[in-house]
């Protein structure tokens, strides 16, 4: 399945969608599928500062727990409380309703270390075989 | 389908257990008392039927084969149950004076001595309640030791990537940073990788031998020497001791500390998840830190609890031991003697290798060497070719009245099944297990979709873990609640 | 022998594997073989082993004495129905219920235990059991530590000394500071010593009834906790008291921990017992150990399963809420069968009998000249008795006459040389009380003569 082209990706299976000085972060289809049914999501507090590649939260399924790593540095403006209430949203629509964190960027929108959709797609394909 | 206790009963049912006493309001102010005690009242016949029915909804060693790797589900001898029930033990208060507890103290003393000999250590504490409790005890001892010798900066713990989850959990409870060391292609810990992580911050290296892949760590002497040279301590996780009792000793391998699981190696029953007992052994260097009290033998030959251990880390539980579990293990040891225990280990290794031989052509065995008391095999090929996973094979075994093996651990083997038959199983049982595995693999190729329906014959079938997980995070579904009162 | 192998079977199996002998198959690398005899006694035939251990059991004279010992381990009546059902093979020899389809018996039993603990403590959630009351306290403190991250505990000296000693052991290894609150001459915790601006802490810990037997003012502990921005932890060492007294929840606790040995478990020279931990719902994710939840299976049947395993060691490893794996499942089952067997009615009757017998005991012993009840605070089934001469000596002499006259408090509180902690339960008879009183009266005469 081709990854949405309107965003970038990390090797840890997060996606980040830029909009000017803001960004939205979530986990990918591959991540939710590997985890299985998600039962709990722990998200950072609005106002907290996050640093690229550092863990900012947790996604927990029945059989596994996975850290969420910040794809970029910035300040959290909003978290998806609908997902905290109904974690299944992340399974059902990881790229849309299952978004996790909104933040304002610390610096310019920086593609450093992030993968384009096609490169991430290749990564996912290599993992599945 | 059985009701809950709270869905049974009626107010006022139940026996008269004691002669009636006056109402407590005579002695205690109403303000101190609760208004109601909303527990069910049941007639004894209701209790009888409830628990007899629940018991029929369980697998158990007395009914089913449990090839559970690293759990050592061997038969639990009934002699052990009989001796643990003697009133001279069950009625003995832990604050009984030593003179009035000489029999119990003798049991504990003998156990300390026998375990010391069997495992090549200097002293044993029988206090910890379970293996994980023994692990944290040892971590606390290590921490105190380094503080005493002025090396408190040592704060890392090396753990193989095949380690049981309690190992890193115990280490981090005392603030140690855990470094995972990879295994090599032979299934042993990568010695070069381990050595590369040794430095002035190394506190403890935790290992088990044989490891959780069932393979003997043949480089163990080299490893213990290297860790000691770097100033660290070696800790032995005794979960796999069933492979080595009477054959070799962790003390001789160079381990400073170890724990045992009496509810694995020494035939104490699992009880559905405990109680266990996790004695901790220490060598000459570390013995002084053991939890107190230990049992000592005085000059006049009598036994006493020794509370005078100035370097002890202190107690790790409220009383002296899981005494009634110790009695069971004691009975097990004295009917076998060291020759019997050695033979048990050899037959455990025989049974594991026999099963390995009988299943390896349908479930890939990743390591060529003979195993010890357990081995791992993989359903990865099965998954690739049919979509059927280790989990589905496990559920299929349940329909045959065989408990699933340990699954999905260690993580180094994909679609892993870890199989430990133990020495108390008959050849017929092992042959039946192998035949069942073959049949399930055949079914996987012939009708893979049917495998995801298994099990079919158990009291419940596959359960919805996601539903309960989501509710549980909101503290819902973890207890019975009375139905909401009707609103007028 | 428990191993069933015949020589022929061994040969056949070795042949299938392709190895000549057991020795060859189980050999260890050079230098690691055990060379000498280990010195264990020779193997005993089963009947000899039975006789040997029976003789050891009979060498515990204290098990036969008239006992007024409590202090954290309580002598209660065990209805025969309890071991009859709880020790069935299907429960005793079962494994941890990781495979829900194979373990509904064990899982439902744990769910019922969790419910009983919540009903008894007034809490929202409880776990599947912990090792004992002392380690349950440690786990409660760790929960509070995860919530508040201050590494500081405020704890009453009225909490069982062994519980505090275990906490001290863990605190030393985990870098936790312990602040103790004194117990006053009234036998109750003095919550005022830290003033109106106490240091901020993770938790305030109080035991009720406390080690001296007195019912504590848990609400005052909760007030101190509020001032310290801490959680309130209520400790119960004598679980039977929960049948009558206000619940920890009603009194303001956030976390309730304790020991359920009183529910049908023998005193058994100290173990195994069974610890419990329960909390309000906001702390559910911090609960250590196993949790059983209710769900449905693919056919819609009610089913029970281990849940929130993401918190536990086998998944979360070094980030787990606790390292606990094996707990006290069978002991929790014994306690649950006990609660089912005695019911609300029976539990209250037994608890009331404890209250009554303890008062009869108190009345009888305080009537002896030279002896007096140390505190005027209300108690459940234990109280402190002031003695005219050192309690250790009195207890030693009464032992020689077959009576365990409670616990001399100087063992844990060196300043309290002339004080005994006495316990009466539903098993304490009028004759027991008469004998103790008679012997203590002799002690009075002795003390008078010595002057």
Contacts of A63 in chain B (CB under 8 A): 408
Contacts of A62 in chain B (CB under 8 A): 465-466, 469
Q: Is A92 on the interface with B (CB under 8 A)?
A: no
Contacts of A62 in chain C (CB under 8 A): 309-310
C207 and C70 both lie in a single domain: no
Q: Which residue, of C308, C338, C368, is where some domain finishes?
A: C338
pLDDT over threshold 90, residue C320: no
Exposed / middle / buried, residue B227 (Cβ in 10 Å: 0-12, 13-18, 19+):
buried
pLDDT of res. B488: 42
Mean model confidence pLDDT for chain C: 96
Mean pLDDT along residues C23-38 = 93
The C-alpha of C307 sits at a distance from chain A's nearest C-alpha, in angstroms, of 8
The C-alpha of A89 sits at a distance from chain C's nearest C-alpha, in angstroms, of 19
CB–CB contact B469 A88 (8 Å): no
Hey, which CATH number is domain B79-335, 3.40.190.10, 3.40.50.620, 3.50.30.50, 3.40.640.10? Answer: 3.40.640.10
Interface predicted TM-score (ipTM): 0.97
Q: What angle do CA A6, A12, A13 make, to 5 degrees?
A: 40
Q: Look at residue A99 and tell me if it is in a domain.
A: yes
The C-alpha of C352 sits at a distance from chain B's nearest C-alpha, in angstroms, of 6
Q: Look at residue C40 and tell me if it is in a domain.
A: no
Write the pLDDT tens digit of every residue in B67-122.
999 999 999 999 999 999 999 999 999 999 999 999 999 999 999 999 999 999 99
* Closest residue in B to A61 (Cα–Cα): B466
Q: Is A128 on the interface with B (CB under 8 A)?
A: no
Q: Look at residue C1 and tell me if it is in a domain.
A: no
- Pick the residue of B470, B475, B477 with the most A CBs within 10 A to test the interface with A by mutation: B470
The C-alpha of A120 sits at a distance from chain B's nearest C-alpha, in angstroms, of 23
Whether the full predicted model's pTM is greater than 0.90, yes or no, is yes
Contacts of B465 in chain A (CB under 8 A): 37, 62
Quickly state the pLDDT bin for C198 (edges 50, 70, 90). very high
C193 and C89 both lie in a single domain: yes
Write the pLDDT tens digit of every residue in B442-482.
999 999 999 999 999 999 999 999 999 999 999 999 999 98
Q: Look at residue C407 and tell me if it is in a domain.
A: yes
pLDDT of res. A1: 59
Contacts of A64 in chain B (CB under 8 A): none
Q: Look at residue C26 and tell me if it is in a domain.
A: no
Quickly state the pLDDT bin for B486 (edges 50, 70, 90). very low
The C-alpha of B488 sits at a distance from chain C's nearest C-alpha, in angstroms, of 26
Q: Look at residue C45 and tell me if it is in a domain.
A: no
pLDDT of res. C35: 86
CB–CB contact C108 B263 (8 Å): no
C352 and C281 both lie in a single domain: no
Mean model confidence pLDDT for chain B: 96
**CATH number of the domain bearing residue C386:** 3.90.1150.10
Pick from B25, B280, B329: which is nearest to B135 by CA?
Answer: B280
C69 and C87 both lie in a single domain: no
Which of A37, A40, A88 lies closest to B473 in CB terms? A40
What are the residues of chain A with a beta carbon less than 8 Å away from any beta carbon of chain C?
39-40, 60-65
Write the pLDDT tens digit of every residue in C385-406.
999 999 999 999 999 999 999 9
Domain count, chain A: 1
Q: Is A74 on the interface with B (CB under 8 A)?
A: no
Beta bridge partners of B33: C245
pLDDT of res. A110: 63
Domain count, chain C: 2
Q: Which residue, of C321, C338, C355, is where some domain finishes?
A: C338
C296 and C406 both lie in a single domain: no
The C-alpha of C197 sits at a distance from chain B's nearest C-alpha, in angstroms, of 28
Domain that holds residue A75: 8-105
Give me C53's structure tokens: 């251990």
pLDDT over threshold 90, residue C162: yes
Q: Look at residue A116 and tell me if it is in a domain.
A: no
Contacts of A38 in chain B (CB under 8 A): 466
Q: Is C186 on the interface with B (CB under 8 A)?
A: no
pLDDT of res. A63: 80
Q: Is A87 on the interface with B (CB under 8 A)?
A: yes
Q: Is B227 on the interface with C (CB under 8 A)?
A: no
CB–CB contact A62 B472 (8 Å): no
Contacts of C361 in chain B (CB under 8 A): none
Q: Which residue, of C323, C338, C353, is where some domain finishes?
A: C338
Mean pLDDT along residues C421-445 = 96
Domain ranges of chain B: 5-55, 79-335
C230 and C294 both lie in a single domain: yes
Share of residues in chain C with pLDDT > 70 (%)? 99
CB–CB contact B87 C63 (8 Å): yes
The C-alpha of A36 sits at a distance from chain B's nearest C-alpha, in angstroms, of 9
Q: Look at residue A121 and tell me if it is in a domain.
A: no
C259 and C383 both lie in a single domain: no
Q: Is C21 on the interface with B (CB under 8 A)?
A: no
Give me C348's structure tokens: 């209250």
CB–CB contact B465 A37 (8 Å): yes
The C-alpha of A75 sits at a distance from chain C's nearest C-alpha, in angstroms, of 23
Mind listing the pLDDT tens digit of every residue in chain A (129 residues)?
Answer: 568 999 999 999 999 999 989 999 999 999 999 999 999 999 999 999 999 999 999 999 988 888 999 999 999 999 999 999 999 999 999 999 999 999 999 877 666 789 999 999 999 988 876
Contacts of A87 in chain B (CB under 8 A): 470, 473
C147 and C95 both lie in a single domain: yes
Q: Is B469 on the interface with A (CB under 8 A)?
A: yes
Q: Is C24 on the interface with B (CB under 8 A)?
A: no
The 3-class SS string of chain C reads: CCCCCCHHHHHHHHHHHCCCCHHHHCCCCCCCCCCCCCCCCCCCCHHHHHHHHHHHHHCCHHHHCEECCCCCCCCCCCCCHHHHHHCCHHHHCCCCCCCHHHEHHHHHHHHHHHHHHHHHHCCCEECCCECCHHHHHHHHHHHHHHHHCCCEEEEECCCCHHHHHHHHHHHHHHCCEEEEECECCCCCECCCCCCCCCCCCCEEEEECCCCCCECCCHHHHHHHHHHCCCEEEEEECCHHHHHCECCCCCCCCCEEEEECCCCCCCCHHHCCCCEEEEECHHHHHHCCCCCEEEEEECCCCEEEEECCHHHCHHHHHHHCCCCCCCCCHHHHHHHHHHHHHHHHHHHHHHHHHHHHHHHHHHHHHHCCCCCEECCCCCECCEEEEECCCCHHHHHHHHHHCCEECCEEHHHCCCCCCCEEEEECCCCCCHHHHHHHHHHHHHHHHHHHHHC
pLDDT of res. C243: 98
Pick from C217, C264, C172: which is nearest to C377 by CA?
Answer: C217
Pick from A32, A28, A25: which is nearest to A70 by CA?
Answer: A25
**CATH number of the domain bearing residue A96:** 2.40.50.100
Write the pLDDT tens digit of every residue in C278-313.
999 999 999 999 999 999 999 999 999 999 877 776
Q: Look at residue C53 and tell me if it is in a domain.
A: no
Q: Look at residue A90 and tell me if it is in a domain.
A: yes
Domain that holds residue C444: 63-76+343-450
Contacts of A35 in chain B (CB under 8 A): none
pLDDT of res. C364: 98
Contacts of C133 in chain B (CB under 8 A): 318
Q: Is B414 on the interface with C (CB under 8 A)?
A: no
C110 and C236 both lie in a single domain: yes
C416 and C300 both lie in a single domain: no
Count A/B contacts: CB-CB distance under 8 Å.
25
Mean pLDDT along residues C144-161 = 97
Of the listed ranges A15-24, B222-231, B260-269, C272-281, the least confidently predicted one is A15-24
The C-alpha of C286 sits at a distance from chain A's nearest C-alpha, in angstroms, of 13
CB–CB contact A63 C285 (8 Å): no
CB–CB contact C315 A61 (8 Å): no
The C-alpha of C249 sits at a distance from chain A's nearest C-alpha, in angstroms, of 26
Q: Look at residue A59 and tell me if it is in a domain.
A: yes
CB–CB contact C315 A40 (8 Å): no
**CATH number of the domain bearing residue C228:** 3.40.640.10
Q: What is the longest distance spanned by two Cα atoms in chain B?
A: 78
Neighbours of chain A (3+ CB pairs under 8 A): B, C
C195 and C254 both lie in a single domain: yes
Write the pLDDT tens digit of every residue in C214-264.
999 999 999 999 999 999 999 999 999 999 999 999 999 999 999 999 999
pLDDT of res. C164: 98
CB–CB contact A87 B470 (8 Å): yes
Contacts of B433 in chain C (CB under 8 A): none
Q: How far apart are CA B454 and CA B441, in angstroms?
A: 13
Which of C 251-290 lie inside 8 A of A, CB atoms? 285
C110 and C250 both lie in a single domain: yes
Q: Is A37 on the interface with B (CB under 8 A)?
A: yes
pLDDT of res. C147: 94
Q: Look at residue C57 and tell me if it is in a domain.
A: no
Pick from B433, B421, B420, B423: which is nearest to B348 by CA?
Answer: B423
Quickly state the pLDDT bin for B485 (edges 50, 70, 90). low
Q: Is B473 on the interface with A (CB under 8 A)?
A: yes
């Amino acid at each position: 399945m081709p990854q949405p082209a309107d965003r970038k990706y990390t090797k840890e299976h997060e996606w980040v969608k830029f909009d000017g000085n803001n960004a939205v972060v979530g986990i990918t289809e591959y991540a939710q599928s590997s985890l299985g049914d998600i039962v709990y999501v722990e998200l950072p507090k609005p106002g907290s500062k996050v640093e690229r590649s550092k863990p900012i939260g947790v996604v927990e399924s029945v059989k596994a727990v996975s850290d969420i790593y910040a794809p970029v540095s910035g300040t959290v403006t909003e978290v998806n409380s609908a997902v905290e209430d109904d974690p299944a949203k992340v399974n059902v629509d990881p790229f849309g309703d299952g978004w996790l964190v909104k933040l304002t960027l610390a610096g310019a929108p920086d593609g450093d270390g992030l993968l384009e959709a096609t490169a991430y797609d290749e990564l996912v394909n290599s993992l599945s075989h | 389908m059985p009701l809950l206790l709270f869905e049974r009963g009626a107010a006022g049912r139940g026996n008269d257990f004691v002669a009636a006493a006056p109402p407590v309001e005579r002695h205690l102010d109403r303000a101190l008392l609760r208004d109601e005690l909303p527990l069910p009242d049941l007639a004894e016949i209701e209790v009888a039927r409830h628990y007899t029915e629940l018991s029929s909804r369980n697998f158990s060693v007395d009914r089913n084969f449990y090839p559970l790797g690293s759990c050592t589900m061997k038969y639990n001898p009934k002699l052990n149950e009989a001796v643990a029930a003697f009133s001279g033990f069950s009625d003995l208060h832990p604050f009984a004076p030593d003179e009035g507890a000489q029999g119990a103290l003798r049991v504990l003393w003998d156990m300390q001595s026998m375990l010391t000999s069997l495992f090549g250590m200097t002293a044993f504490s029988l206090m910890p309640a379970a293996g994980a409790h023994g692990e944290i005890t040892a971590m606390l001892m290590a921490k105190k030791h380094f503080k005493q010798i002025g090396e408190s900066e040592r704060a890392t713990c090396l753990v193989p990537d095949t380690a049981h989850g309690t190992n890193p959990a115990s280490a981090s409870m005392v603030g140690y940073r855990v470094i995972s060391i990879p295994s090599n292609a032979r299934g042993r810990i990568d010695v070069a990788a381990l050595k590369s992580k040794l430095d002035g911050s190394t506190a403890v290296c935790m290992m088990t031998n044989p490891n959780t892949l069932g393979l003997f760590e043949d480089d163990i002497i080299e490893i213990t020497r290297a860790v000691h040279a770097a100033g660290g301590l070696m800790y032995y996780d005794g979960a796999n001791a069933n492979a080595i009792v009477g054959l070799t000793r962790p003390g001789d391998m160079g381990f400073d500390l170890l724990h045992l699981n009496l509810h694995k190696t020494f035939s104490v029953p699992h009880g559905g998840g405990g109680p266990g007992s996790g004695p901790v052994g220490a060598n000459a260097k570390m013995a002084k830190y053991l939890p107190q009290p230990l049992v000592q033998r005085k000059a006049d030959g009598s036994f006493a609890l020794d509370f005078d251990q100035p370097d002890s880390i202190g107690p790790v539980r409220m009383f002296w031991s899981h005494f009634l579990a110790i009695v069971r293990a004691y009975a097990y040891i004295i009917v076998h003697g060291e020759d019997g225990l050695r033979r048990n280990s050899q037959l455990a290794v025989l049974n594991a290798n026999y099963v390995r031989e009988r299943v390896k052509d349908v479930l890939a065995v990743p390591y060529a060497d003979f195993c010890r008391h357990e081995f791992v095999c993989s359903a990865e090929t099965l998954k690739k070719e049919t979509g059927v996973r280790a989990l589905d094979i496990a559920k299929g075994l349940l329909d045959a009245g065989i408990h699933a093996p340990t699954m999905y651990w260690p993580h180094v083997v994909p679609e892993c099944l870890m199989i430990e038959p133990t020495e108390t199983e008959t050849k017929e049982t092992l042959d039946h297990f192998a035949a069942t595995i073959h049949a399930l693999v055949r079914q996987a190729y012939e009708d893979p979709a049917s495998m995801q329906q298994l099990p079919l014959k158990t009291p419940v079938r596959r359960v919805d873990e996601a539903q309960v997980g989501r509710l549980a995070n909101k503290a819902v579904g973890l207890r019975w609640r009375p139905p909401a009162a009707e609103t007028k | 022998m428990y191993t069933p192998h015949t020589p022929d079977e061994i040969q056949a199996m070795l042949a299938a594997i392709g190895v000549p002998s057991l020795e060859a198959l189980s050999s260890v690398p050079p230098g690691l073989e055990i060379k000498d005899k280990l010195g264990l006694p020779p193997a005993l035939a089963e009947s000899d082993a039975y006789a040997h251990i029976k003789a050891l059991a009979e060498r515990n004279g204290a098990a036969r004495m008239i006992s007024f010992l409590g202090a954290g381990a309580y002598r209660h009546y065990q209805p025969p129905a309890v071991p009859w059902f709880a020790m069935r093979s299907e429960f005793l020899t079962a494994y941890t219920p990781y495979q829900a389809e194979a373990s509904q018996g064990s899982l439902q039993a744990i769910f019922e235990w969790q419910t009983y603990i919540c009903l008894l403590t007034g809490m929202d959630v409880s776990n599947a059991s912990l090792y004992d009351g002392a380690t349950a306290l440690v786990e409660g403190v760790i929960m509070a530590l995860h919530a508040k991250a201050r590494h500081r505990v405020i704890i009453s000296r009225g909490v069982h000394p062994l519980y505090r000693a275990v906490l001290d052991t863990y605190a030393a290894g985990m870098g936790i500071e312990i602040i103790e609150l004194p117990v006053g001459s009234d036998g109750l915790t003095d919550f005022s010593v830290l003033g109106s601006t106490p240091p901020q802490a993770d938790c305030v810990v109080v035991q009720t009834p406390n080690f001296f037997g007195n019912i504590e003012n848990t609400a005052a502990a909760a007030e101190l906790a509020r001032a310290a921005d801490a959680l309130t932890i209520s400790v119960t060492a004598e679980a039977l008291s929960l049948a009558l007294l206000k619940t920890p929840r009603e009194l303001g606790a956030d976390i309730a921990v304790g020991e359920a040995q009183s529910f049908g478990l023998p005193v058994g020279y100290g173990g195994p017992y069974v610890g419990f931990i329960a909390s309000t719902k906001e702390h559910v994710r911090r609960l250590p150990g196993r949790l059983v939840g209710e769900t449905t299976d693919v056919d819609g049947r009610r089913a029970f399963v281990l849940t929130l395993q993401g918190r536990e060691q086998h998944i979360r490893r070094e980030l787990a809420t606790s390292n606990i794996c094996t707990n006290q499942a069978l002991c929790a089952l014994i306690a649950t069968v006990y609660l089912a067997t005695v019911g609300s009615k029976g539990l209250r009757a037994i608890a009331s009998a404890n209250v009554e017998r303890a008062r009869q005991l108190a009345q009888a012993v305080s009537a002896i000249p030279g002896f007096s009840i140390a505190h005027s605070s209300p108690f459940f089934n234990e109280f402190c008795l002031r003695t005219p001469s050192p309690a250790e000596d009195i207890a030693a002499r009464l032992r020689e006459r077959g009576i365990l006259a409670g616990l001399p408090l100087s063992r844990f509180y060196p300043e309290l040389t002339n004080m005994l902690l006495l316990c009466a339960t539903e098993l304490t008879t009028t004759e027991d009380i008469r004998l103790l009183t008679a012997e203590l009266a002799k002690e009075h005469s002795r003390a008078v003569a010595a002057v």
